[in-house]
Structure 1
Amino acid sequence: MTGQVRLGVQIAPQHAPYEKIRDTVFAIEEMGVDVVFNWDHFFPLSGDPDGLHFESWTMLAAWAEQTSTIEFGALVNCNSYRNADLQADMARTIDHISGGRFIFGTGAGWFERDYDEYGYEFGTPGSRLNALADALPRIENRWEKLNPPPTRDIPVLIGGGGEKKTLRIVASHADIWHSFSSPAILEHKLGVLGSWCERVERDVSEIEISTELRSRTPAEADELYDLGTRLFTIGISGPDHDLAPVRDWLAWRDSRNAG
Protein backbone atom coordinates (compact mmCIF):
# COMPACT_ATOMS: atom_id res chain seq x y z
CA MET A 1 0.00 0.00 0.00
CA THR A 2 1.28 3.46 -0.91
CA GLY A 3 0.60 6.70 0.92
CA GLN A 4 2.19 8.84 3.58
CA VAL A 5 2.36 7.79 7.20
CA ARG A 6 0.22 9.92 9.49
CA LEU A 7 0.52 10.24 13.26
CA GLY A 8 -2.50 10.68 15.49
CA VAL A 9 -2.50 11.57 19.17
CA GLN A 10 -5.45 10.64 21.36
CA ILE A 11 -5.76 13.02 24.30
CA ALA A 12 -7.81 11.19 26.91
CA PRO A 13 -10.25 13.81 28.26
CA GLN A 14 -9.57 12.73 31.83
CA HIS A 15 -7.57 13.76 34.92
CA ALA A 16 -6.71 17.24 33.62
CA PRO A 17 -8.42 20.64 33.64
CA TYR A 18 -9.72 21.73 30.26
CA GLU A 19 -7.07 24.46 30.01
CA LYS A 20 -4.39 21.76 30.05
CA ILE A 21 -6.16 19.78 27.33
CA ARG A 22 -6.57 22.90 25.19
CA ASP A 23 -2.88 23.83 25.56
CA THR A 24 -1.85 20.28 24.63
CA VAL A 25 -3.92 20.47 21.44
CA PHE A 26 -2.11 23.72 20.56
CA ALA A 27 1.25 22.09 21.27
CA ILE A 28 0.76 18.96 19.20
CA GLU A 29 -0.62 20.95 16.26
CA GLU A 30 2.52 23.08 16.33
CA MET A 31 4.65 19.91 16.48
CA GLY A 32 3.13 18.72 13.22
CA VAL A 33 0.90 15.88 14.41
CA ASP A 34 -1.60 14.92 11.70
CA VAL A 35 -4.70 14.03 13.74
CA VAL A 36 -5.85 14.67 17.31
CA PHE A 37 -8.50 12.48 18.91
CA ASN A 38 -10.40 12.36 22.16
CA TRP A 39 -12.83 9.60 23.24
CA ASP A 40 -16.56 9.47 23.80
CA HIS A 41 -17.04 8.45 27.42
CA PHE A 42 -18.47 10.15 30.49
CA PHE A 43 -16.04 8.84 33.12
CA PRO A 44 -12.31 8.06 33.25
CA LEU A 45 -11.20 4.72 31.85
CA SER A 46 -8.05 4.57 33.98
CA GLY A 47 -6.89 6.02 37.27
CA ASP A 48 -9.46 7.45 39.67
CA PRO A 49 -12.83 6.33 38.24
CA ASP A 50 -14.41 9.52 39.55
CA GLY A 51 -11.61 11.84 38.48
CA LEU A 52 -11.81 14.86 36.18
CA HIS A 53 -13.49 14.11 32.86
CA PHE A 54 -15.08 16.04 29.96
CA GLU A 55 -17.63 15.28 27.24
CA SER A 56 -16.44 14.47 23.73
CA TRP A 57 -18.57 16.31 21.15
CA THR A 58 -18.63 19.71 22.84
CA MET A 59 -14.85 19.45 23.16
CA LEU A 60 -14.52 18.59 19.46
CA ALA A 61 -16.45 21.72 18.50
CA ALA A 62 -14.00 23.77 20.56
CA TRP A 63 -11.06 22.07 18.86
CA ALA A 64 -12.61 22.86 15.48
CA GLU A 65 -12.48 26.56 16.34
CA GLN A 66 -9.07 26.66 18.03
CA THR A 67 -7.09 24.67 15.43
CA SER A 68 -6.31 25.47 11.81
CA THR A 69 -4.41 22.59 10.21
CA ILE A 70 -4.79 19.38 12.19
CA GLU A 71 -7.56 16.87 11.53
CA PHE A 72 -9.52 15.69 14.55
CA GLY A 73 -12.33 13.51 15.83
CA ALA A 74 -13.31 10.99 18.47
CA LEU A 75 -11.58 7.64 18.79
CA VAL A 76 -14.38 6.76 18.88
CA ASN A 77 -17.89 8.18 19.17
CA CYS A 78 -20.40 5.87 20.87
CA ASN A 79 -23.30 5.32 18.51
CA SER A 80 -25.64 4.41 21.39
CA TYR A 81 -25.62 7.84 23.01
CA ARG A 82 -27.21 9.94 20.27
CA ASN A 83 -29.83 9.68 17.54
CA ALA A 84 -28.20 8.83 14.20
CA ASP A 85 -29.55 11.87 12.35
CA LEU A 86 -28.43 14.12 15.19
CA GLN A 87 -24.93 12.65 14.97
CA ALA A 88 -24.87 13.48 11.26
CA ASP A 89 -25.94 17.06 11.90
CA MET A 90 -23.40 17.52 14.70
CA ALA A 91 -20.65 16.13 12.49
CA ARG A 92 -21.66 18.38 9.58
CA THR A 93 -21.67 21.45 11.84
CA ILE A 94 -18.22 20.67 13.27
CA ASP A 95 -17.02 19.99 9.73
CA HIS A 96 -18.02 23.55 8.78
CA ILE A 97 -16.57 25.11 11.93
CA SER A 98 -13.22 23.48 11.13
CA GLY A 99 -13.23 24.18 7.41
CA GLY A 100 -13.33 20.48 6.53
CA ARG A 101 -10.94 18.79 9.00
CA PHE A 102 -13.37 16.63 10.99
CA ILE A 103 -13.12 12.81 11.02
CA PHE A 104 -16.28 10.96 12.09
CA GLY A 105 -14.87 8.18 14.22
CA THR A 106 -17.53 5.84 15.55
CA GLY A 107 -18.15 2.50 17.19
CA ALA A 108 -20.79 0.40 18.90
CA GLY A 109 -19.95 1.31 22.51
CA TRP A 110 -18.82 -0.92 25.37
CA PHE A 111 -18.34 0.94 28.69
CA GLU A 112 -21.26 -0.19 30.85
CA ARG A 113 -20.93 2.56 33.47
CA ASP A 114 -21.64 5.20 30.82
CA TYR A 115 -24.86 3.45 29.90
CA ASP A 116 -26.00 2.81 33.45
CA GLU A 117 -25.35 6.28 34.85
CA TYR A 118 -26.68 8.18 31.84
CA GLY A 119 -29.75 6.02 31.35
CA TYR A 120 -28.97 4.27 28.07
CA GLU A 121 -29.91 0.65 27.44
CA PHE A 122 -26.71 -1.40 27.50
CA GLY A 123 -28.01 -4.37 25.56
CA THR A 124 -25.46 -6.86 24.22
CA PRO A 125 -22.39 -6.54 21.98
CA GLY A 126 -24.52 -7.95 19.16
CA SER A 127 -27.40 -5.52 19.67
CA ARG A 128 -25.04 -2.56 19.87
CA LEU A 129 -23.29 -3.59 16.64
CA ASN A 130 -26.67 -4.05 14.96
CA ALA A 131 -27.59 -0.53 16.04
CA LEU A 132 -24.35 0.82 14.55
CA ALA A 133 -25.04 -0.98 11.27
CA ASP A 134 -28.53 0.57 11.21
CA ALA A 135 -27.27 4.04 12.10
CA LEU A 136 -24.56 4.48 9.48
CA PRO A 137 -26.90 4.51 6.44
CA ARG A 138 -29.08 7.06 8.26
CA ILE A 139 -26.03 9.21 8.95
CA GLU A 140 -24.92 9.05 5.34
CA ASN A 141 -28.43 9.83 4.08
CA ARG A 142 -28.77 12.79 6.45
CA TRP A 143 -25.50 14.24 5.18
CA GLU A 144 -27.07 14.30 1.70
CA LYS A 145 -30.13 16.19 2.97
CA LEU A 146 -28.54 18.83 5.18
CA ASN A 147 -28.45 22.45 4.07
CA PRO A 148 -25.68 23.41 3.81
CA PRO A 149 -24.15 20.00 3.12
CA PRO A 150 -20.79 18.98 4.60
CA THR A 151 -17.79 20.75 3.09
CA ARG A 152 -16.37 17.36 1.99
CA ASP A 153 -17.16 13.68 2.14
CA ILE A 154 -16.60 13.40 5.89
CA PRO A 155 -14.19 10.49 6.49
CA VAL A 156 -15.75 7.71 8.53
CA LEU A 157 -13.44 5.90 10.93
CA ILE A 158 -14.73 2.71 12.52
CA GLY A 159 -12.95 1.05 15.43
CA GLY A 160 -12.98 -2.61 16.37
CA GLY A 161 -11.94 -5.97 15.02
CA GLY A 162 -14.91 -8.31 15.29
CA GLU A 163 -14.85 -10.54 12.23
CA LYS A 164 -18.55 -11.38 11.83
CA LYS A 165 -20.11 -7.94 12.24
CA THR A 166 -17.60 -5.12 12.79
CA LEU A 167 -15.41 -5.82 9.77
CA ARG A 168 -18.51 -6.23 7.62
CA ILE A 169 -19.60 -2.74 8.72
CA VAL A 170 -16.08 -1.45 8.02
CA ALA A 171 -16.17 -2.89 4.51
CA SER A 172 -19.49 -1.19 3.79
CA HIS A 173 -18.97 2.21 5.38
CA ALA A 174 -15.46 3.03 6.61
CA ASP A 175 -12.81 5.22 5.06
CA ILE A 176 -10.49 4.37 7.98
CA TRP A 177 -10.39 1.19 10.05
CA HIS A 178 -8.79 1.42 13.51
CA SER A 179 -7.64 -1.48 15.66
CA PHE A 180 -5.20 -2.39 18.43
CA SER A 181 -3.80 -5.31 16.43
CA SER A 182 -0.34 -6.78 16.67
CA PRO A 183 1.33 -7.49 13.31
CA ALA A 184 0.25 -11.14 13.35
CA ILE A 185 -3.34 -10.32 14.25
CA LEU A 186 -3.48 -7.45 11.77
CA GLU A 187 -2.38 -9.71 8.94
CA HIS A 188 -5.22 -12.10 9.75
CA LYS A 189 -7.80 -9.35 10.20
CA LEU A 190 -6.86 -7.76 6.89
CA GLY A 191 -7.60 -11.06 5.20
CA VAL A 192 -11.05 -11.10 6.81
CA LEU A 193 -11.64 -7.47 5.87
CA GLY A 194 -10.60 -8.23 2.30
CA SER A 195 -13.17 -11.02 2.14
CA TRP A 196 -15.93 -8.71 3.37
CA CYS A 197 -14.87 -6.07 0.83
CA GLU A 198 -15.18 -8.64 -1.95
CA ARG A 199 -18.72 -9.45 -0.80
CA VAL A 200 -19.78 -5.80 -0.87
CA GLU A 201 -17.82 -5.18 -4.10
CA ARG A 202 -15.40 -2.70 -2.64
CA ASP A 203 -11.64 -2.37 -3.06
CA VAL A 204 -10.00 -2.86 0.35
CA SER A 205 -7.26 -0.40 -0.69
CA GLU A 206 -9.85 2.38 -0.35
CA ILE A 207 -9.75 1.91 3.45
CA GLU A 208 -6.92 3.54 5.39
CA ILE A 209 -5.52 1.18 8.04
CA SER A 210 -5.09 2.72 11.49
CA THR A 211 -3.34 1.02 14.40
CA GLU A 212 -2.65 1.93 18.02
CA LEU A 213 1.00 2.36 19.00
CA ARG A 214 0.56 1.59 22.70
CA SER A 215 3.69 -0.17 24.06
CA ARG A 216 4.98 -0.83 20.54
CA THR A 217 8.58 -0.60 19.39
CA PRO A 218 9.66 1.05 16.13
CA ALA A 219 10.41 -2.43 14.79
CA GLU A 220 6.80 -3.49 15.44
CA ALA A 221 5.59 -0.27 13.85
CA ASP A 222 7.71 -1.10 10.80
CA GLU A 223 5.95 -4.48 10.58
CA LEU A 224 2.55 -2.80 10.82
CA TYR A 225 3.64 -0.37 8.10
CA ASP A 226 4.67 -3.24 5.85
CA LEU A 227 1.18 -4.71 6.30
CA GLY A 228 -0.38 -1.46 5.13
CA THR A 229 -0.93 0.65 8.25
CA ARG A 230 -0.65 4.34 7.44
CA LEU A 231 -2.29 6.02 10.44
CA PHE A 232 -0.57 5.33 13.76
CA THR A 233 -2.03 6.64 17.00
CA ILE A 234 -0.48 7.14 20.42
CA GLY A 235 -2.52 7.91 23.51
CA ILE A 236 -1.68 10.40 26.26
CA SER A 237 -3.56 11.20 29.44
CA GLY A 238 -3.66 13.73 32.24
CA PRO A 239 -2.50 15.03 34.49
CA ASP A 240 0.88 15.48 32.78
CA HIS A 241 0.38 14.93 29.00
CA ASP A 242 3.94 13.74 28.40
CA LEU A 243 4.81 14.74 24.82
CA ALA A 244 8.21 13.02 24.65
CA PRO A 245 6.76 9.84 23.04
CA VAL A 246 4.94 12.04 20.54
CA ARG A 247 8.24 13.61 19.49
CA ASP A 248 9.82 10.17 19.13
CA TRP A 249 6.99 8.87 16.93
CA LEU A 250 6.98 12.03 14.84
CA ALA A 251 10.65 11.36 14.08
CA TRP A 252 9.76 7.77 13.13
CA ARG A 253 6.91 9.02 10.90
CA ASP A 254 9.21 11.46 9.15
CA SER A 255 11.86 8.80 8.60
CA ARG A 256 9.29 6.49 6.98
CA ASN A 257 7.96 9.23 4.76
CA ALA A 258 11.46 10.31 3.75
CA GLY A 259 12.25 6.76 2.67
Structure 2
Amino acid sequence: MNQPLAYVHPEAKIAQNVVIEPFATIHKNVEIGEGTWIGSNAVIMEGARIGKNCKIFPGAVISSIPQDLKFAGEVTTAYIGDNTIIREYVTVSRGTIDKMKTVVGSNCLVMAYAHVAHDCMVGNNCIIGNSVQMAGHVEVGDFAIISATSAIHQFVKIGSHAFISGGSLVLKDVPPFVKAAREPLSYAGINSIGLRRRGYVSEQINDIQHVYRLLFMNGLNNSQALDKIEVELSPSRERDEIINFVRNSGRGIIKGYFAKDAN
Protein backbone atom coordinates (compact mmCIF):
# COMPACT_ATOMS: atom_id res chain seq x y z
CA MET A 1 0.00 0.00 0.00
CA ASN A 2 1.19 3.50 -0.77
CA GLN A 3 0.24 5.75 2.14
CA PRO A 4 1.34 9.34 1.68
CA LEU A 5 3.62 10.48 4.51
CA ALA A 6 3.34 7.11 6.30
CA TYR A 7 6.10 4.49 6.35
CA VAL A 8 4.98 0.94 5.58
CA HIS A 9 7.71 -1.69 5.38
CA PRO A 10 7.46 -3.59 2.09
CA GLU A 11 7.32 -6.94 3.94
CA ALA A 12 4.37 -5.94 6.11
CA LYS A 13 1.14 -7.78 5.30
CA ILE A 14 -1.66 -5.23 5.04
CA ALA A 15 -5.17 -6.44 4.21
CA GLN A 16 -7.76 -4.67 2.09
CA ASN A 17 -9.49 -1.51 3.31
CA VAL A 18 -6.86 -0.71 5.95
CA VAL A 19 -6.45 3.02 6.53
CA ILE A 20 -2.99 4.17 7.60
CA GLU A 21 -2.88 7.86 8.44
CA PRO A 22 0.09 10.16 7.69
CA PHE A 23 3.20 9.75 9.87
CA ALA A 24 2.24 6.28 11.09
CA THR A 25 5.05 3.70 10.98
CA ILE A 26 4.55 0.02 10.12
CA HIS A 27 7.59 -2.24 10.60
CA LYS A 28 8.40 -5.56 8.94
CA ASN A 29 6.87 -8.84 10.14
CA VAL A 30 3.56 -7.10 10.83
CA GLU A 31 0.09 -8.31 9.85
CA ILE A 32 -2.96 -6.02 9.87
CA GLY A 33 -6.48 -7.29 9.18
CA GLU A 34 -9.22 -5.86 6.99
CA GLY A 35 -10.92 -2.61 7.89
CA THR A 36 -8.43 -1.57 10.58
CA TRP A 37 -7.55 2.09 11.07
CA ILE A 38 -4.06 3.16 12.12
CA GLY A 39 -3.89 6.75 13.39
CA SER A 40 -1.18 9.30 12.77
CA ASN A 41 2.08 8.75 14.68
CA ALA A 42 1.10 5.26 15.78
CA VAL A 43 3.99 2.79 15.59
CA ILE A 44 3.31 -0.85 14.77
CA MET A 45 6.52 -2.74 15.45
CA GLU A 46 7.90 -6.09 14.39
CA GLY A 47 5.80 -9.03 15.55
CA ALA A 48 2.45 -7.23 15.66
CA ARG A 49 -0.62 -9.22 14.61
CA ILE A 50 -3.61 -6.89 14.46
CA GLY A 51 -7.06 -8.21 13.68
CA LYS A 52 -9.96 -6.90 11.63
CA ASN A 53 -11.77 -3.60 12.17
CA CYS A 54 -9.46 -2.38 14.92
CA LYS A 55 -8.78 1.27 15.71
CA ILE A 56 -5.25 2.19 16.78
CA PHE A 57 -5.17 5.83 17.86
CA PRO A 58 -2.31 8.33 17.48
CA GLY A 59 0.80 7.74 19.54
CA ALA A 60 0.11 4.10 20.37
CA VAL A 61 3.02 1.67 20.15
CA ILE A 62 2.15 -1.98 19.49
CA SER A 63 4.62 -4.89 19.80
CA SER A 64 7.55 -2.98 21.24
CA ILE A 65 10.50 -4.94 22.67
CA PRO A 66 9.69 -6.15 26.21
CA GLN A 67 10.82 -4.05 29.15
CA ASP A 68 12.48 -7.15 30.58
CA LEU A 69 16.24 -7.40 31.00
CA LYS A 70 16.02 -11.17 30.43
CA PHE A 71 14.72 -10.63 26.90
CA ALA A 72 17.36 -11.99 24.51
CA GLY A 73 15.93 -10.99 21.15
CA GLU A 74 13.76 -14.06 20.62
CA VAL A 75 11.18 -13.80 17.84
CA THR A 76 7.86 -13.15 19.59
CA THR A 77 4.55 -11.50 18.82
CA ALA A 78 1.81 -9.22 20.13
CA TYR A 79 -1.78 -10.02 19.12
CA ILE A 80 -4.66 -7.54 19.01
CA GLY A 81 -8.03 -9.20 18.40
CA ASP A 82 -10.79 -8.12 16.04
CA ASN A 83 -12.80 -4.95 16.75
CA THR A 84 -10.49 -3.81 19.53
CA ILE A 85 -9.86 -0.11 20.19
CA ILE A 86 -6.42 1.02 21.32
CA ARG A 87 -6.49 4.66 22.41
CA GLU A 88 -3.79 7.33 22.45
CA TYR A 89 -0.30 6.43 23.71
CA VAL A 90 -1.14 2.90 24.76
CA THR A 91 1.90 0.60 24.75
CA VAL A 92 1.68 -3.16 24.21
CA SER A 93 4.94 -5.10 24.48
CA ARG A 94 5.49 -8.33 22.61
CA GLY A 95 6.15 -11.61 24.41
CA THR A 96 9.26 -13.20 25.80
CA ILE A 97 10.42 -16.82 25.86
CA ASP A 98 7.86 -17.48 28.62
CA LYS A 99 4.74 -17.39 26.43
CA MET A 100 6.23 -16.09 23.18
CA LYS A 101 3.31 -13.69 22.77
CA THR A 102 1.25 -10.97 24.37
CA VAL A 103 -2.49 -11.02 23.66
CA VAL A 104 -5.25 -8.44 23.85
CA GLY A 105 -8.48 -10.14 22.82
CA SER A 106 -11.35 -9.12 20.57
CA ASN A 107 -13.89 -6.36 21.27
CA CYS A 108 -11.68 -4.75 23.92
CA LEU A 109 -11.22 -1.09 24.79
CA VAL A 110 -7.77 -0.10 26.03
CA MET A 111 -7.89 3.54 27.09
CA ALA A 112 -5.19 6.21 26.78
CA TYR A 113 -1.74 5.76 28.32
CA ALA A 114 -2.36 2.18 29.48
CA HIS A 115 0.52 -0.30 29.35
CA VAL A 116 0.14 -4.02 28.63
CA ALA A 117 3.46 -5.69 29.34
CA HIS A 118 5.13 -8.76 27.88
CA ASP A 119 3.33 -12.11 28.04
CA CYS A 120 0.06 -10.64 29.32
CA MET A 121 -3.10 -12.45 28.27
CA VAL A 122 -6.15 -10.18 28.13
CA GLY A 123 -9.42 -11.87 27.22
CA ASN A 124 -12.29 -10.70 25.03
CA ASN A 125 -14.67 -7.81 25.75
CA CYS A 126 -12.39 -6.29 28.40
CA ILE A 127 -12.11 -2.61 29.33
CA ILE A 128 -8.71 -1.37 30.48
CA GLY A 129 -9.00 2.16 31.89
CA ASN A 130 -6.80 5.20 31.37
CA SER A 131 -3.22 4.79 32.61
CA VAL A 132 -3.67 1.23 33.89
CA GLN A 133 -0.18 -0.20 34.27
CA MET A 134 -0.05 -3.95 33.75
CA ALA A 135 3.19 -5.77 34.58
CA GLY A 136 4.37 -8.89 32.80
CA HIS A 137 2.56 -12.24 32.71
CA VAL A 138 -0.79 -10.87 33.93
CA GLU A 139 -3.93 -12.80 32.91
CA VAL A 140 -7.30 -11.05 32.55
CA GLY A 141 -10.52 -12.98 31.96
CA ASP A 142 -13.29 -12.11 29.51
CA PHE A 143 -15.49 -9.09 30.29
CA ALA A 144 -13.22 -7.85 33.09
CA ILE A 145 -13.08 -4.11 33.75
CA ILE A 146 -9.97 -2.52 35.27
CA SER A 147 -10.63 1.11 36.17
CA ALA A 148 -8.24 4.00 35.59
CA THR A 149 -4.75 4.30 37.10
CA SER A 150 -4.76 0.82 38.62
CA ALA A 151 -1.41 -0.99 38.87
CA ILE A 152 -1.34 -4.76 38.34
CA HIS A 153 1.53 -6.81 39.83
CA GLN A 154 3.27 -9.33 37.59
CA PHE A 155 1.71 -12.80 37.38
CA VAL A 156 -1.60 -11.61 38.86
CA LYS A 157 -4.76 -13.25 37.50
CA ILE A 158 -8.05 -11.36 37.20
CA GLY A 159 -11.16 -13.48 36.71
CA SER A 160 -13.88 -13.05 34.12
CA HIS A 161 -16.53 -10.38 34.77
CA ALA A 162 -14.48 -8.89 37.60
CA PHE A 163 -14.59 -5.13 38.24
CA ILE A 164 -11.61 -3.36 39.82
CA SER A 165 -12.08 0.15 41.17
CA GLY A 166 -9.96 3.09 40.06
CA GLY A 167 -6.50 3.62 41.51
CA SER A 168 -6.22 0.09 42.86
CA LEU A 169 -2.96 -1.66 43.66
CA VAL A 170 -3.60 -5.25 42.58
CA LEU A 171 -1.10 -7.54 44.34
CA LYS A 172 -3.29 -10.65 44.64
CA ASP A 173 -5.53 -12.57 42.26
CA VAL A 174 -9.08 -11.24 41.82
CA PRO A 175 -11.68 -14.03 41.46
CA PRO A 176 -14.38 -13.98 38.75
CA PHE A 177 -17.68 -12.05 39.04
CA VAL A 178 -16.57 -9.79 41.92
CA LYS A 179 -16.06 -6.11 42.58
CA ALA A 180 -12.69 -5.31 44.15
CA ALA A 181 -12.05 -2.07 46.00
CA ARG A 182 -10.56 -0.55 49.18
CA GLU A 183 -6.94 -0.43 50.32
CA PRO A 184 -5.59 -3.06 50.59
CA LEU A 185 -7.66 -4.39 47.71
CA SER A 186 -10.56 -6.50 49.01
CA TYR A 187 -13.76 -8.18 47.97
CA ALA A 188 -16.52 -5.55 47.74
CA GLY A 189 -19.46 -7.63 46.54
CA ILE A 190 -20.66 -9.15 43.30
CA ASN A 191 -20.47 -7.29 39.99
CA SER A 192 -24.23 -7.69 39.70
CA ILE A 193 -24.78 -4.70 37.39
CA GLY A 194 -22.23 -5.97 34.90
CA LEU A 195 -23.61 -9.50 35.09
CA ARG A 196 -27.18 -8.32 34.41
CA ARG A 197 -25.99 -6.31 31.44
CA ARG A 198 -24.49 -9.50 30.04
CA GLY A 199 -27.63 -11.58 30.44
CA TYR A 200 -27.15 -13.25 33.80
CA VAL A 201 -30.47 -13.88 35.54
CA SER A 202 -31.24 -13.35 39.24
CA GLU A 203 -30.93 -17.04 40.05
CA GLN A 204 -27.38 -17.18 38.66
CA ILE A 205 -26.39 -13.98 40.48
CA ASN A 206 -27.83 -15.28 43.75
CA ASP A 207 -25.89 -18.51 43.36
CA ILE A 208 -22.66 -16.55 42.81
CA GLN A 209 -23.39 -14.44 45.91
CA HIS A 210 -23.92 -17.62 47.93
CA VAL A 211 -20.53 -18.97 46.87
CA TYR A 212 -18.79 -15.79 47.98
CA ARG A 213 -20.66 -15.65 51.28
CA LEU A 214 -19.23 -19.05 52.10
CA LEU A 215 -15.78 -18.09 50.81
CA PHE A 216 -15.41 -14.67 52.41
CA MET A 217 -17.94 -14.30 55.23
CA ASN A 218 -17.96 -17.65 57.01
CA GLY A 219 -14.78 -17.43 59.06
CA LEU A 220 -13.15 -20.30 57.15
CA ASN A 221 -9.85 -20.46 55.37
CA ASN A 222 -9.99 -20.89 51.60
CA SER A 223 -9.53 -24.67 51.59
CA GLN A 224 -12.26 -25.17 54.20
CA ALA A 225 -14.59 -22.80 52.38
CA LEU A 226 -14.10 -24.54 49.03
CA ASP A 227 -14.83 -27.92 50.60
CA LYS A 228 -18.01 -26.50 52.13
CA ILE A 229 -19.06 -24.93 48.83
CA GLU A 230 -18.66 -28.26 47.02
CA VAL A 231 -20.74 -30.06 49.63
CA GLU A 232 -23.52 -27.51 50.09
CA LEU A 233 -23.97 -25.96 46.64
CA SER A 234 -25.10 -27.72 43.49
CA PRO A 235 -22.60 -27.79 40.63
CA SER A 236 -22.90 -24.97 38.09
CA ARG A 237 -20.61 -23.34 35.55
CA GLU A 238 -20.21 -20.27 37.78
CA ARG A 239 -19.63 -22.25 40.99
CA ASP A 240 -17.03 -24.45 39.33
CA GLU A 241 -15.28 -21.48 37.70
CA ILE A 242 -14.86 -19.81 41.09
CA ILE A 243 -13.64 -23.02 42.76
CA ASN A 244 -11.10 -23.71 40.01
CA PHE A 245 -9.86 -20.10 40.05
CA VAL A 246 -9.26 -20.06 43.81
CA ARG A 247 -7.67 -23.51 43.87
CA ASN A 248 -5.30 -22.62 41.03
CA SER A 249 -4.36 -19.17 42.31
CA GLY A 250 -0.60 -18.79 42.32
CA ARG A 251 -0.41 -15.54 44.29
CA GLY A 252 -3.41 -16.11 46.53
CA ILE A 253 -6.69 -14.21 46.21
CA ILE A 254 -7.64 -10.78 47.52
CA LYS A 255 -8.84 -10.28 51.08
CA GLY A 256 -12.39 -11.07 52.01
CA TYR A 257 -15.33 -8.97 53.08
CA PHE A 258 -15.85 -8.35 56.78
CA ALA A 259 -19.16 -7.41 58.40
CA LYS A 260 -17.57 -4.49 60.23
CA ASP A 261 -16.81 -2.93 56.80
CA ALA A 262 -20.41 -3.23 55.60
CA ASN A 263 -21.11 0.47 56.04
TM-score, normalised to structure 1's length?
Answer: 0.23
Greater fraction strand: 2
By relative contact order (CA 8 Å, sep 6+), the higher-ranking structure is 1
TM-score, normalised to structure 2's length?
Answer: 0.23
